[in-house]
Chain A
Amino acid sequence: MNSVKQTANRTALCALLIVALIPISVTGVNSADAPTTLAAPDSFSNLSDPAAQSAALFTEADKVLSSPRCVNCHPAGDRPLQGDAQRLHQPPVARGSDGFGTAAMRCSMCHQDANFDPAGMPGHAHWHLAPREMAWQNKTAGEICAQLKDPARNGGRSLDDVATHIATDSLVGWAWAPGFGRASAPGTQAQLGALIKAWIQTGSVCPQ
């Protein structure tokens, strides 16, 4: 009888452990509560105040901009972040003078033209860090919004250029095809592009 009870207890314990570990091993520590979808611009049309509507559109878009897929390469310092948990990049690497790494440790040494899932290695032909002035880590939606509107901190782009970049750049698009072990950015690149376009058309107001 005791043996049966112990076996049952062990089985229950194993089941509990398995259930407890699944969210960590499959989705990462921080991604369980992360948004996976984006609302369409039309869903904000019920806001009568254009400024409030514009700010709400950007707040929705910020679900992507503040996601690990974007922030990891828009870090506050000179070292990129890694994974959904946004730990510091290992091995220790630095942005270098051009954002593509230091002379002896270029990004392209490991990051090839495409993801290499057998090794869990993300890749893109232009893999690099955003310039330091485009750091989004630890920023609020309002602060990121102000950065995007500032040519001194957005690569000298007009708002239309910003919209085109976000909607069509293939490195931005990697955020929706990040390879095994990484959560995709919410929604799709086209949906994000539509949100940014609508935000601009409604006055490009930043959330407080």
Chain B
Amino acid sequence: MNAMSVTINGKAYGPIEVRDELSMNDFLREYLGLTGTKFGCGRAQCLSCAVIVDNPDGTSETSPTCVIPAASFAGKSIRTVEGHAQNGQLSVLQKAFIEHFSFQCGYCTAGFLNEGQVLLERLAKTQVPRADLDKTILEALDGHLCRCTGYVKYHEAVRDVILSDPKRYLS
């Protein structure tokens, strides 16, 4: 057993006793009731379980949760799909997903949303040339699996958000 504390969507949780065998996915869904983070393949192959990890240096990255022990997240700050909307207002990327009908069943959406958000935050710090934009989005979303609408609509939604504010995201 480990006692862990973790910050999720800006809220501190813990210390909470967790078993060594407990995955972060089960911790979020079963301990905290944050069921927006999905359990898909259980092998880190679909990334529907991905959450955002906020690093101390101000950068962010995604991490799967289905194959990672909960205790590995001790002391970290993460964001889940529940943390994107602020004061009842969807984020710009969430709105773009809806406008593009990016998702159908929605099972993969939390993972794509988190990955897209990390990309936006990365580009806000390090812009890319317009010519490299599609390649950059492709590489960022690579690894996330969707079996309903496909990948084009997610791609287009992320691209539209970036192109709507080129000074922020493009060099």
| Cβ-defined contact, A116 with B43, below 8 A | no
Is B45 a contact of A116 with CB atoms below 8 Å?
no
Q: Which of the four size classes fits the interface of chain A?
A: 10 to 19
The reply to whether B67 and A110 contact each other, CB–CB distance below 8 Å, is yes
User: A118: nearest residue on chain B (CB-CB)?
Assistant: B21
Are the CB atoms of A119 and B139 closer together than 8 Å? no
A154 located at the interface, meaning its Cβ lies under 8 Å from any Cβ of chain B in the complex: no
- CB interface residues, B 33-77, toward A, < 8 Å: 42-45, 47, 61-64, 66-69, 72
Per-residue B-contact encoding for A106-120, CB less than 8 Å = 1, 0 else: 100110110011111
Task: Scan residues 83-121 of chain A and give those whose CB is less than 8 A from a CB of chain B.
Answer: 90-92, 102-106, 109-110, 112-113, 116-121
- Which of these, B44, B63, B142, B143, contacts A121 with CB under 8 Å? B44
Instruction: Kindly provide the distance from the CB of B57 to the nearest chain A CB, expressed in whole angstroms.
Output: 15
B154 CB, min distance to chain A CBs, angstroms: 14
Smallest Cβ-Cβ distance to A93: which chain B residue: B143
Closest to B21 in A: A118
- Let me know if A119 and B62 touch, CB within 8 A: no
In the assembled complex, the Cα of A103 lies from the Cα of B142 at a distance in Å of: 11
**Known pairs A102-B139, A109-B64, A110-B67; A91 contacts B45 (CB<8 A):** yes
Instruction: Please tell me if the beta carbons of B44 and A104 are within 8 angstroms of each other in the complex.
Output: no
Question: In the complex the two chains form, is A91's CB within 8 Å of B44's CB?
Answer: yes
Q: How far is the CA of A88 from the CA of B170 in the complex (A)?
A: 36
What residues of A have a CB within 8 angstroms of the CB of B115 in the complex?
A: 104
Contact partner of B67 (CB less than 8 A), chosen from A90, A104, A106, A119, is: A119
Min Cβ gap A103→B in Å is: 7
> Nearest chain A CB to B18's CB is how many angstroms away?
12
Give a binary string over A57-83; 1 marks a CB under 8 Å from any B CB, 0 the rest.
000000000000000000000000000
Contact between chains at A104 and B142 (CB < 8 Å): yes
A92, A106, A112, A119: the one contacting B43 at CB < 8 Å is A119
With CB as the reference atom, state the residue of chain B lying closest to A112. B72
How far does the Cβ of A102 sit from chain B's closest Cβ, in whole Å?
A: 7
Complex Cα distance A146/B21, Å?
43
Can you report 30 residue pairs joining A to B where beta carbons are below 8 Å apart?
A: A90-B43, A90-B45, A91-B44, A91-B45, A91-B143, A103-B139, A104-B115, A104-B139, A104-B143, A105-B143, A109-B62, A109-B63, A109-B64, A110-B67, A110-B68, A112-B69, A112-B72, A113-B72, A116-B23, A116-B67, A116-B69, A117-B21, A118-B22, A118-B23, A118-B69, A119-B44, A119-B67, A119-B68, A121-B44, A121-B68
Which 3 pairs across A and B sit closest by C-beta, in order of nearness? A119-B67, A121-B67, A110-B44
